Structure formats: structure tokens, C-alpha cells
Amino acid sequence: MPQLTLASTSRYRRELLERLRLPFAVARPEVEETALPGETPLALATRLAKAKAQAVARTLAGDGWALGSDQVADLDGRPLGKPGGRDGAIAQLRAMSGGVVRFHTALCLAHPDGRALAAIDLTGVRFRALADAEIERYVDAEQPFDCAGSFKSEGLGICLFESIDNRDPTALIGLPLIATCTLLRQAGFTLP
């Protein structure tokens, strides 16, 4: 079976990939993550997933594959990144309150010989109308500073939503496992 390397140091992605019970290594992709002028959230997620996978794939030997993923929150066509701190998280949640945010989660599985397989998952999240006190309580309790959109759907963040529309519940956490399994099978990995 080919060797797999997760092109990410995200603990969320690592924990999700562990569910598949495949051995894998972890490598930090050296990729600049700034959006290009006029780049859409979908284009940004797709470009970054590919860049991460290819950056790590170039360091692999033999029959190794690198799995890159990137998620971009899309609020009315504008990308929302990780908030970085309390004030940023509060501002993001205020902006999303009562609205729908789309999360583009892109995957790329890259081989050192240049082959690449890709997929994209779209998740729509409808937020409740949130009072400032609710937002501050949530941010202080969960401190979602390293999460696109300033929430953790696998934790207390679920309390902020009216609904989630998606094909894969793991996508919102950062690695859509249904699409990941499809790509891995295409690359020759054996899964149940």
C-alpha cells in the first residue's frame, strides 16, 4: 500500500484522519496562505489545498502521497480566515449572526511524480440571531481562535446554529472523510 503523509499540522485534521485507521506521517507544508486580490473563497480553498499537498509531495520518495486540505468560510463572497484572538472571533460571530455562511473545504492528494486528485465539499451553516452576551460567553468558553469562522461545531459551537446543510458531517471540522476516502481509494489505498 502507498505511504500517506498529512500535509497539515492541524490537530483537527489529524484526529479526523486517524478515524480511517491508516498509518500516516504528518508534515508542515510551507505555504503562504494569503488570499490573492479578487480571489473567491472557493478558489482560495482549492489553491491552498493543492499548494499544501504539492509542497509536501515534493519531499516524498517512492510511492508516497501527500494529503492537503484547506477550509475557507464564505460570508457573502468574502473569505473569513481564522480570527487569531478574542476580538477577531467576536467580530466574526457578530457578522455571521442571523446569516448563512458557506464553508468550502478543498482536498488534494498529490504524488511526487506530479499526479494529483482533488475534491471539494460545501457546507452551509445558518446561524441563529446571536446576542452580544451569547457571543462573548461562547468565545470565552471555547476560545475558537484557530478555527475558520470562530466556532467548533464538534463542541459548543453547535449551539450557535439553526441548521447545517452538508453531505459530510466531518467537512465542517476541516477534513471531509467521505471525499478523503474516495481520493485514497483512487490512489490505491485499501479501506473498508
Q: Which residues are identified as catalytic?
A: 70
> Cα–Cα distance between 181 and 16 in angstroms, integer?
12
Task: Specify whether the CB–CB gap between 13 and 6 falls below 8 A.
Answer: yes
> Cα–Cα distance between 99 and 186 in angstroms, integer?
37
Which are the contacts of 36, defined by CB distance < 8 A and separation ≥ 6?
A: 44, 47
Which are the contacts of 13, defined by CB distance < 8 A and separation ≥ 6?
A: 6, 69, 174, 175
Cα distances (Å, whole numbers) of residue 142 to 11, 31, 132: 16, 28, 16
> Cα–Cα distance between 51 and 7 in angstroms, integer?
10
